[in-house]
Amino acid sequence: MFLGATLFLLIFILLAPQPRAILAGGAAAFATTMTTWAPFSYVFLAILIAAMLTGFWMLHTWPKHVEPESPMAKYRREGPLEED
């Protein structure tokens, strides 16, 4: 529901020249900061990406939930057997 509205809004934000200039300026400032603080920023970025991948891996390998069997299931009354 919100994905369509978000994409619609994002298209209009990216079409307008002023927000596009702001986003491009932010990307340029990010690139400048990354090169200025080169060894530290790349290590920090690697840690962030590793944390994200570790989270994905944990969600993927997490044990599946198994519903416990009802304790009253063994006392369930079965109907009479019909023989033809």
- At residue 80, the pLDDT reads 64
Q: Which tens digit of pLDDT belongs to each residue from 43-72?
A: 999 999 999 999 999 999 999 888 888 777
* Residue-range domain boundaries for the chain: 2-61
Q: What percentage of the chain has pLDDT greater than the value 90? A: 39
- At residue 57, the pLDDT reads 96
How far, in whole angstroms, is CA 4 from its chain's centroid?
17
Nearest-CA neighbor of 44 among 30, 55, 57?
A: 30
- Whether the full predicted model's pTM is greater than 0.75, yes or no, is no
Backbone dihedral region for residue 68 (phi beyond 0: left; psi -120 to 50: alpha; all else: beta): beta
Nearest-CA neighbor of 29 among 14, 45, 37?
A: 37
